[in-house]
Structure 1
């Protein structure tokens, strides 16, 4: 009987350890996520006709995958002016650009395996897509929250446990 309790304790402890991934909050960026390794952070500012777009990219590598999370801050008045149709255009443009860049990097034609548009958290326009090029997989999630545009891309083994844990841990937070 004692061995049964020890076995159950070990099983429960190991399940709890693998299911609990510590997410780090990035309150200024408005999200939290459990990156598998400490991400490299790169900030840029792009001048456009519509105003300055501030961009921050968080990148980390696993054994057989790369995660890039980009937060882009558009001028708030631009997003209001664009409305729903314009926001959908931003999502579509990001998807098309990501696919084109992926094809260029992998030197192969992209084959879609997933493509859906939905409301993230039931309130923010989002698109999720994925596919293969040059025998490499990619999955992406794009979300527009007010004037913040998030692009999360995983390339390589998109089913790796650390990569799927990262996606599950990603949450938008209110500032």
Structure 2
């Protein structure tokens, strides 16, 4: 888990920390969540084939699991041009890229246990994957709201009440 935290810290340019309380709303990123303790916030602009992607990464290491939320703002013209299969491809590509990058950084073998496409709040295309990285359980959720994609990744003992409570607390602001 320390390798994962080091990797997440490596991919950023700036770090901002603040005190966390329950049910905190992150207005700029458009979500609320109950982190078990203070998250670290990192911002980065990524140049890609499709244009600039603004990324805000929230990380938090609890006693037996780690949380990562990445809010990514894609170019609006890209997302507007995509149909439903294109959005599904963006969600799948993000899942594959994120989980394979973590596996590579940890020197771990990735095994996808299950995947489920669904509609978050009956509005937003979403994908949930359950996976294993060696001995670590992983729950990964990807939600597309307009040109914003939310990647929520829990790694470690994802069956702990604290981990389940965190996942249940995550909410996209409409």
TM-score in same-fold range (> 0.5): yes
| Bigger helix share | 1
Question: Which residue of the partner structure matches residue 79 of structure 2?
Answer: 79
1:106 deviation in Å?
A: 4.2
Task: Tell me the TM-score normalized by structure 1.
Answer: 0.82
RMSD (CA atoms): 1.5
Query: Counterpart of 1:28 in 2: which secondary structure?
Result: coil
Check conservation: 1:43, 1:57, Cα contact below 8 A. Answer: yes
The whole-number CA distance in structure 2 between the counterparts of 1:169 and 1:109 is 30
User: Could you tell which deviates more after superposition, 143-152 or 90-99?
Assistant: 90-99
Question: Which residue of the partner structure matches residue 36 of structure 1?
Answer: 36
The whole-number CA distance in structure 2 between the counterparts of 1:154 and 1:108 is 16
Deviation above 4 Å: which 4+ runs of structure 1?
Answer: none
Question: Which residue of the partner structure matches residue 8 of structure 1?
Answer: none
The whole-number CA distance in structure 1 between the counterparts of 2:127 and 2:36 is 23
Please tell me whether Structure 1 or Structure 2 has the larger radius of gyration of its CA atoms.
Answer: 1
Check conservation: 1:115, 1:127, Cα contact below 8 A. Answer: yes
Question: Which residue of the partner structure matches residue 24 of structure 2?
Answer: 24
User: Could you tell which deviates more after superposition, 146-155 or 95-104?
Assistant: 95-104
Query: Counterpart of 2:83 in 1: which secondary structure?
Result: helix
What runs of 5+ residues in structure 2 fail to find an aligned partner? 1-20
Is 1:70 matched with 2:65? no
Query: Counterpart of 1:95 in 2: which secondary structure?
Result: helix
What runs of 5+ residues in structure 1 fail to find an aligned partner? 1-20
Structure 2 counterparts to residues 1-175 of structure 1, below 5 A: 22-174=22-174
Task: Tell me the TM-score normalized by structure 2.
Answer: 0.83
